[in-house]
Amino acid sequence: MGSREARAALLKKTPVFGGLTEEECTMLAPVFKTRSLQKGEVLFHQGDPGDYLAVVEDGRLVIEVMGEKKATVVSRRRVGESVGEMSSIDPAPRSATVRAVDKAVVLVLSRTMLDSLKENAPGLFSRVVQGVAHQLAGRLDETNELLSGMLQAKRAPTGPRQPSLKAMQEARDRGREPAKEVELKPAGVLQGLSAADRALLSTATVAREFDSGSVICLEGEAARAAYIVAGGEVDVLRVVGGRTYRLATISEGGFLGQLALLREQRRSATLRAGSGGATVLGLSRKRFGRLLEAQSRLAIDFQEMVTVAGIRQLRQANELTAYLGGREAKGVRPHGDRGPRKDPGPRKDPGPVRRRVQKMVDAELDEVKDVESLAAAYLETSLQNWDLTPSELNNIRVVHSDGEMSAAEKKMRQKFKK
């Protein structure tokens, strides 16, 4: 068993804790429990309940994913590396099996200990969550890269061009200050907040009113703030292949653009005030950072909530991305292929979440690529706007400039009806 100082030095070298100061690592070191593993011993199995992360103090670990017939090694962990970071913040079934290559020692940080930290050392808890959030941002990058590749490889949707980003720039609006103070109601993301916390949130954000059809922010522009819908509705729009799709309509209490609170990036979608207008509260990354530095309880709760939402969104998006990416291997013909269709053999039940997308993308011939391209674009957008859930893919609608739909568009629209 290493000394407290030695463990603190190890934590400082571990990526998820690399942002902590030496003093913070020394404070955190005693919170970990030690677990020794024999050669070949399993730390946890795929499918086991997960509620802790582990840092390798000695030895090596191997990460395996069970396939149809055998386990496949997908990664390895050495001294100073960690595994299971996201489960420590948001407990969930393990996605892989981790076992010791030879004798190993790991340091375990459980969700129970994190809860204790939150109560007794909120500043340190916040720094740990921040480290996991940075890991999350890296995973989001990996998934977005896969989705971007899908969008480039797949044929864009066909049909008449719809309002483009350039056209929507004309509707770009900075909004106006509300005539009276905005009263936040306990709805959506605000449901768990007390009246005092909602009042504090109002003082930490900037309220703006937007008329119906006004564009709040544009796809592709720098994202420096997240938005809470305080009144009305906000449409989430995305241009795919020259056609504008309404991916979702977010109502009062909805929270959009959360990833902007974690790091600098570009908007993945356009936000537009709904038919009755909208009132939104903007929370800037700079302001959010200052609140965390001041160890505001509200900011720390918000930080945890945002990180948990991102973790859950990433889990679903990764599952569906793997499904979309694997369709060609299962016998889906590339666009233009008119040869005999290969029999992919019996297909396993893809699970309830995948079945939703399977129902949507299992089209025939030309249209299959159209729908897959849209699904990939939706998932890419959902990784920044976590009130969009992959299970709502069948609610997507085409945005029309003249209110009329061609026969082809009507046929496409039917695909997304429940």
**What would the two tokens of residue 348 be?**
């396993």
Q: Are 354 and 395 members of one domain?
A: yes
pLDDT 10s digits, 46-68: 999 999 999 999 999 999 988 77
In the numeric block, the tokens 């030895």 are attached to 59
pLDDT value for 154: 52
pLDDT value for 301: 86
Rounded Cα gap, residues 278 and 152, in angstroms: 34
CATH number of residue 209's parent domain: 2.60.120.10
pLDDT value for 341: 44
Q: Are 49 and 186 members of one domain?
A: no
- For the ranges 116-125, 138-147, 149-158, 400-409, which has the lowest average pLDDT? 400-409
Q: In terms of Cα–Cα distance, which of 385, 382, 387, 379 is closest to 187?
A: 387
Report yes or no on 84 lying in a domain: yes
Q: Are 167 and 18 members of one domain?
A: no
Q: By residue range, what is the domain housing residue 374? A: 121-335+348-418
Q: Are 104 and 160 members of one domain?
A: no
Q: Are 43 and 142 members of one domain?
A: no
- For the ranges 133-147, 263-277, 375-389, which has the lowest average pLDDT? 375-389
Report yes or no on 318 lying in a domain: yes
Q: Are 100 and 43 in contact (CB under 8 A)?
A: yes
* Residue 318: pLDDT over 60: yes
Q: Are 65 and 199 members of one domain?
A: no
Q: Which has more pLDDT, 3 or 356?
A: 3
Q: Are 85 and 132 members of one domain?
A: no
Q: Are 237 and 319 members of one domain?
A: yes
Q: Which has more pLDDT, 259 or 22?
A: 22
Q: Which has more pLDDT, 301 or 61?
A: 61
Report yes or no on 341 lying in a domain: no
The last residue of a domain, from among 116, 132, 149: 116
Q: Are 210 and 234 members of one domain?
A: yes
Report yes or no on 275 lying in a domain: yes
Q: Are 148 and 169 members of one domain?
A: yes
How many domains, in total, are found in the chain? 2
Q: In terms of Cα–Cα distance, which of 309, 301, 310 is closest to 204?
A: 301
- What mean pLDDT, rounded, does the chain reach? 76
The last residue of a domain, from among 66, 95, 116: 116
Rounded Cα gap, residues 323 and 131, in angstroms: 29
Rounded Cα gap, residues 334 and 324, in angstroms: 13
Report yes or no on 107 lying in a domain: yes
pLDDT value for 362: 43
Report yes or no on 342 lying in a domain: no
Q: CA distances (Å), 60 to each of 99, 103, 105, 136, 332, in order?
A: 9, 8, 9, 23, 40
Q: Are 60 and 139 members of one domain?
A: no
pLDDT value for 32: 95
Name the pLDDT band for 158 (thresholds 50, 70, 90): very low
pLDDT 10s digits, 260-271: 888 788 888 889
Q: Are 107 and 36 in contact (CB under 8 A)?
A: no
* Residue 199: pLDDT over 90: no
The last residue of a domain, from among 116, 145, 176: 116
Report yes or no on 363 lying in a domain: yes
Name the pLDDT band for 139 (thresholds 50, 70, 90): confident
Q: Are 213 and 320 members of one domain?
A: yes
Rounded Cα gap, residues 238 and 209, in angstroms: 22
